[in-house]
Structure 1
Amino acid sequence: MQFEGQAIRVQKIDSGLYELIFDLQTEPVNKFNQLTLSELKDAVTQLSAVKDIKGVLFSSAKDSFIVGADITEFSSLFDRGEAGLVEKLLENHAIFNAVEDLPCPTVVAINGLALGGGFELCLAADYRVMGEKAKVGLPEVKLGINPGWGGIVRLPRLIGIDNAHEWICTGVEKRAAAALKDGAVDAVVAQEQVREAGLDLLRQCAEGKFDYQARRTEKQSPVKLNQIEQMMAFETAKGMIGAKAGPHYPAPLQAVKTIQKSCGMNRDQAILAEIKGVAKLASGPVVKALVGLFMKDQYVKKVSKGHVAKAAQVNQAAVLGAGIMGGGVAYQSASKGVPILMKDINEAAIQLGLDEANKLLAGQLKRGRTDAAKMAATINRIRPTLSYGDFGNVDLVVEAVVENPKVKQMVLAEAETHLADDAVLASNTSTISINALAKSLKRPENFCGMHFFNPVHKMPLVEVIRGEKTSDETIARTVSYATAMGKTPIVVNDCPGFLVNRVLFPYFGGFSGLLQDGADFRNVDKVMERFGWPMGPAYLLDVVGIDTAHHADQVMAAGFPERMSHEGESVIDRMYSLERFGQKNGKGFYRYELDRKGKLAKRADDEVDALLESCVGAACEFTDQTIIERMMIPLCIETVRCLEEGIVASPAEADMAMIYGIGFPPFRGGVFHYLDEMGLAAFCEMTAKYEALGPLYQPTEKMQQMAANATKYFN
């Protein structure tokens, strides 16, 4: 039997043994698109008809096995409605069931990533051999859905209920050792031996040394748990998983409920339960938002790849300023394999930067995410220096000194004289104009902004800011370096606050306005956290630092006086004058102290109300909806202004910047998705209630035109 398609081919190995090879010709990785599924169906049908068949090996000709379903195709199924989705899922299950029902033993050679539908195919086979560098998993909950091609049914029967809850409800990728320990795979071998080991196991099965039918029967039968065991397994999990997922992400809890419902059924009944659970989730708004974010993230990565393709590689980096930020940049660069010089003007600052890097590495070591050898190698990539001696060999320099324009201009101008003519100089600034800083430089075309977010090792976003004279080559190299550091770079144009801070401060303006009208900041925090923000505005200001926020607020007020200036003393001004800087000195809107684990814990501070009395209004009750509207309207309108003015190139990039930069609730899909879901007509009508609050609450003319034409930002 021979089968040759565009995604799959089948070849005969030995007498009665066949190999089905995934090799999607149109893509760099294997994925389950309609072409692959169609060819899999045809190939398995033909294999089922071979009279002398003794075994089938499933393998991949690419570095990955199968990375999952083609989300660009699969997401369109959600528009079919529940009945249409159920029909399509039944078709896909029939293909995977046919794999499981082949009249011979089956083995999968997992040589690389096998995720989502790719891993569900592995589960349909009788045995799984995994390369030591491969990863497997069911990440569907990250898109707001559940595994829908048999993962809910087969995985609990292989690895047990508790393990399946952890795998499915977290959506984590599992390395080979963990997969073997839990029983999800049967063997782990060296990467180059995966195919041969899989073939050897298949031959042993064909010779009758392993009872593949018993394994198959176990996968297709009800889970062997009595009622008490089921109650213990599921009721505890519901409480823990439901609490961790929260009310806005229903997929993890739905997975537990579906596993519970299906574990007492045979395969075909259980599959119907799985399909119904997926269809129920697919009809909700969270899936649309999270799938949309996945697509936007892919788009942002594609844009970055376009820059990287044009860029000279950064082989040697440097950072100016060895404080917490400089140390964080040095750690991130070194941990990703890019050597970096860390320069400062005194030994104490150098030591602070090294201590920061060592602290982060020690945490990695403690959590088992690195070992002593890798830790030493990372530290050795950070070379502290008090001079510019080796800067002639540096490809890109990140300036990370104090946020003061005069100091930055002086340091940048001095550094430029020690760099090669084609070296890139980037300023890590959150508010200072790149065009203004460039005036002190002889080669402004080699200069741009590179705004890291604190803490550097955790925050995924880097704003790459283009000045008026910044060259394309400079942007390309900076994007390439940010990508090499494991960050998501988004290119924006220069303006006060750039994109993220420009949008954030109208949000803080809404907060200050609420307090001036008598709102309780603690209640505002609670409402916005229930809305989905990781922390309310008062708590966020404490984390950002009141002194930092006060400085940025002045920059924004000077840059956009018609919208962002304010009369009198605001709550941010008041906190700053009282030197209540938030977490950095233990007191802000809340007070902070170390808990038993050595982490800063937020506590109520009864002194704050009296301290704020001079700049807040008489106590007034606001509905949750009013608080949400007064907070969200300024943020949304300013984000739209940034798009209309060309500060950010696309709604997709803006949405990802809001998610990665300030924690916009992912289940709401980003600012532009949020506006599309509400409808611009409804949004503009809502803003009319707050006309008296000033320009921050007035939509742009283009927004009003789009509202009149029922236009959306995303098709």
Structure 2
Amino acid sequence: MIYEGKAISAKFLDNGVAELCFDQQGESVNKFDQLTLRELDEATKALAQEKDLKGVLVTSAKSVFIVGADIMEFTDMFKLPDDELKGWVREANGIFNRFEDLPVPTVAAINGIALGGGFEMCLACDYRVMSSKARVGLPEVKLGINPGFGGTVRLPRVIGPDNAMLWAATGNDQKPDAALKDGGVDAVVEPDNLRDAALDLLSKAIDGTFDYKARRQEKLEPVKLNDIERMMSFTTGKAMIAQQAGKNMPAPLTVGKSMEKNAALGRDEAIEVEIEYFAKLAKTPEAAALVGLFLNQQTLGKRNKQWENKAEPVNKAAVLGAGIMGGGIAYQSAYKGTPILMKDIADAGLDLGMSEATKLLAKRVDRGRMSGLQMGEVLSSIRPTLDYTGFDKADVVVEAVVENVKVKHAVLSECEQHIREDAVLASNTSTISITRLAEPLKRPENFCGMHFFNPVHQMPLVEVIRGEKTSDETVARVVKYATQMGKTPIVINDCPGFFVNRVLFPYFAGFDMMVRDGVDFRRIDKVMEKFGMPMGPAYLMDVVGIDTGFHAAEVMAEGFPDRMKHDYTGISELMFKADRYGQKNGVGFYRYEKDKKGKPRKTEDETALKMAADCAEKSIEITDEEIVARMMIPMCTETLRCLDENIVSCPEDADMGLIMGIGFPVFRGGALRYIDQMGAKAFCEMADKFAHLGKLYEPTESIRKMAENGETFFK
């Protein structure tokens, strides 16, 4: 044994070849934490002292290669003073450089995921052989940062600046065929052949068949482009990155700038450039938000895993109501491997549901993501029915009928008579109290909410709503089913609107009040889109359906009359009364016509503009910053109330729910992180400026106490 640690070992194989193996004790995956970095340095120094060493094979004993850096550990590093942070990153790069400089050829055998620091380790090797089941890439921009272990230096010298900018600026995983085509790896083989293929390549480098020294020299020198070529490449690349990433995400464009600046330098000087950009990005609010979001995902995933461990897999499901929503639920369930019954009271409904599922599957076939045979298999696992035949075999039944208490009561009561006593019944209601819906049921403990967001196949969130009598076993099974469907469930306690819609409707109320005060809804949309929302509030209402929103708003006003009931007729109500429902009937705040691809195209509508002008009670002067404040304060204060009332269990769940449920800007991290970055005191001061607008703008006692104590939601 040359070296043996807790994360890395090195030993001789045959003929002077050593194997450097990553195998982190007590962990299911390998990652670069402080221990692993230190041991890599120690193992590298030990290898360098071996006189008989002829080559090094780099492997992993886990099912993955290395998933990347340990973000949980490194976030504390980001808080260090600049000089200390740069010093730490410089020291880490020295370890990779020393490995790269070993006086023998090195080959990485990439058996699984190699991302971030994991792929940077591969780039420090002379050659890379990849399993056909593996993935590689530099996803750091998704955390608001850039690669920090030499990725922006080595990658453009290995695959060229154009490809390197695309890889690093998107942060996407690269599949084997793409990695091989671009030159990121030297060979792709089946998993069983990986080790032999990597050893064979290493032996050819040792005997001189392959010139590893020439290959290595390319990584030590400037990028092989003349000044004009370099200017053209990076100018074009940065323009493309800026267009795709937008102004709110600095990390992608910084990748291009870092590569451009270091391209004319040798390795060591180039890495200093990378360190400068890395340290600068690590201090940005966008990085704090995106890293925080990643950690929130980890926290939520662990909590959901605990629920899942309490439940058996859902082997068969059923959905009641076969419209667009029911068809979407059936598609998602079947596509992810859980057969499902789809019941409706009329053939027309079943036809609509099957049509929705067929349309979604056909798109996958058209894009080459599924074969026709696979499409047929998925469709055959959706069984349309007009009666309850087979419902006694269902583990979970999801009700997705019209949003009306009486109708839902009747359907749920009837269905309960046709399912097993241990089966779970769930409602896909978007606003109606689960406790209220459970009133006529004989087994309310087996009932909960399972709120999908539209469109089901695209929206990642599912709210699992616990009523007053819902059992833990019921929650666990629905969490399990949601996860099987490829969704991210968040467990919510019951109230009108639950969490996401309860928080969304104060946001819409803020919009209504601004239009009442004479602010152009088109301007509000543009300001909020610039803020980072995927669409402005008027456009969002059109997409959701103004009729749907109006009925939901009535439920919210009944549930929270002190702040969600108003004494004026708002623009949303006027639109509803004029039968302007948005995209579903072609007119709302905007007019919609289908483009060549059959998608609704938004255009301005004179009637909508006149309606807005007619309902304005005055005409105020307002800045863009004030528009943002008037939209965000109601959303944030309602989020705070949900947290105080334990509707949502923790800040992490609240922010994840808003990001996945309404598209809250990821670079802002969620409503509570938005408050954190502003400061609780500054938020309260901002809200107090609008106190005259009513209780929607009133800060909670909890946030006032946090302001007094200088506290934050996240460390």
Specify the alignment match of 1:689 in structure 2. Answer: 689
**CA displacement at 1:567 relative to structure 2:** 1.1
* CA deviation vs aligned residue, 1:224-260 (integer Å, no higher than 9, x gap): 1122222221112222211211111011111111111
Contact 1:248 1:532 in 2 (8 A): yes
Letter in 2 for 1:302: K
TM-superposed deviation, 1:661 = 0.5
Aligned equivalent of 2:198: 198
Q: CA deviation at 1:150?
A: 1.1
Give, in whole Å, the separation in 2 of the partners of 1:319 and 1:201: 55
Match of 1:245 in 2: 245
Could you tell me the percent identity over the aligned residues? 60
Question: Which residue identity is paired with 1:432?
Answer: I
Q: Is the 8 A contact 2:316 2:340 kept in 1?
A: yes
- Contact kept, 8 Å, 1:86 with 1:279, in 2: the verdict is yes
CA distance in 2, matches of 1:396, 1:173: 35
Which amino acid counterpart does residue 136 of structure 1 have in structure 2? V
Using the alignment, how far apart are the partners of 1:60 and 1:10 within structure 2? 11
Q: Equivalent residue for 1:213? A: 213
Q: In 1, Cα distance between the equivalents of 2:344 and 2:98? A: 65
Q: Which amino acid aligns with 1:685?
A: E
CA deviations over 1:498-544 (Å, ceiling 9, x no partner):
00000001111111111111111111111111111111111111111
Q: Secondary structure at the match of 1:647?
A: coil
Deviates more, 1:133-142 or 1:200-209: 200-209
Contact 1:153 1:262 in 2 (8 A): yes
Q: Secondary structure at the match of 2:449?
A: strand
Letter in 2 for 1:331: Y
Q: Which amino acid aligns with 1:663?
A: G
Greater shift, 607-616 or 82-91, is seen at: 607-616
SS of aligned partner of 1:489: strand
**Unaligned residue ranges in structure 1 (runs of 5+):** none
| 2:328 matched residue in structure 1 | 328
CA distance in 1, matches of 2:79, 2:287: 12
Q: TM-score, normalised by structure 1?
A: 0.98
Task: Return the alpha-carbon distance in structure 2 between the equivalents of residues 613 and 92 of structure 1.
Answer: 61
Give matches, 1:172-191, under 5 Å: 172-191=172-191
Instruction: After TM superposition, list the pairs within 5 Å mapping 1:225-240 onto structure 2.
Output: 225-240=225-240
Aligned to 1:383: 383
Q: Which residue of 2 aligns with 1:433?
A: 433
Identify the range of structure 1 (460-469 vs 347-356) with the bigger mean alpha-carbon deviation. Answer: 347-356
With 703-712 and 247-256 compared, the bigger mean Cα shift is at 703-712
Match in the other structure for 2:419:
419
> Equivalent residue for 2:79?
79
Structure 2 SS opposite 1:58: strand
Aligned positions, number:
715
Aligned to 2:677: 677
How do 1:139-154 and structure 2 match up within 5 A?
Answer: 139-154=139-154
Q: What is the CA–CA distance in structure 1 between the aligned matches of 2:455 and 2:192, rounded to whole Å?
A: 39
The gaps in structure 2 that reach 5 residues or longer are none
Report what 2:136 is aligned to.
136
SS where residue 689 of structure 2 aligns? helix
Q: How does 1:331-480 map to 2 (within 5 A)?
A: 331-480=331-480
SS of residue matched to 1:607: helix
* Contact 2:571/2:611 (8 A) holds in 1: no
For residues 69 and 684 of structure 2, the distance between their equivalents in structure 1, rounded to whole angstroms, comes to: 38
Q: 2:65 aligns to what?
A: 65
> The residue matched to 1:587 in structure 2 has which SS?
coil
Q: 2:70 and 2:702 mapped to 1: Cα distance? A: 35
CA contact (8 A) 1:462 1:487 kept: yes
Distance 1:693 1:355 in 2: 47
Aligned to 1:522: 522
Q: Which residue of 2 aligns with 1:97?
A: 97
CA distance in 1, matches of 2:167, 2:297: 23
- Distance between the aligned counterparts of 2:527 and 2:411, measured in 1? 44
* Alpha-carbon distance in 2 for matches of 1:168, 1:267: 18
Q: State the shift of 1:350 in Å.
A: 1.3
Is the 8 Å Cα contact of residues 341 and 385 (structure 2) preserved in structure 1? yes
How far, CA to CA, are the matches of 1:638 and 1:159 in structure 2?
49
Q: Is the 8 A contact 1:109 1:195 kept in 2?
A: yes
Point out the more displaced range, 462-471 or 192-201. Answer: 192-201
Confirm or deny: 8 A CA contact 1:113 1:135 kept in the other structure: yes
Deviation at 1:125, TM superposition (A): 0.3
Sort the Cα spacing of 1:408 and 1:244 in 2 relative to 1 into closer, same or farther, 3 A: same
Q: Is the 8 A contact 1:520 1:619 kept in 2?
A: no
Cα distance in 1 for residues equivalent to 2:230 and 2:202: 35
| Cα distance in 2 between the residues matched to 1:127 and 1:339 | 45
- 1:609 deviates by 2.1
User: 1:201: Cα distance to partner?
Assistant: 1.6
Give, in whole Å, the separation in 1 of the partners of 2:220 and 2:372.
45
Partner of 2:27 in structure 1?
27
| CA deviations over 1:603-648 (Å, ceiling 9, x no partner) | 1112212223442223333111111111111111100000000100
The farther-off stretch of 291-300 and 203-212 is 203-212
1: CA distance between counterparts of 2:573 and 2:385?
38
| Conserved? CA contact 2:518–2:613, under 8 Å | no
Are residues 1:668 and 2:664 paired?
Answer: no
SS of residue matched to 2:606: coil
- Structure 1 residues 337-346 or 486-495, which shifts more? 337-346
- Deviation of the 1:182 alpha carbon: 0.9
Deviation at 1:353, TM superposition (A): 1.2
User: How far apart are 1:317 and its partner, in Å?
Assistant: 1.1
Matched residue, 1:510: 510
Residue number in structure 2 paired with 1:277: 277
* DSSP 3-state at the match of 1:612: helix
Asked if the contact 2:328/2:357 (under 8 Å) is kept, the reply is: yes
| 2:246 partner letter | G
Hey, which bits of structure 1, 4+ residues long, moved more than 3 A?
Answer: none
After TM superposition, the score normalised by the length of structure 2 is 0.98
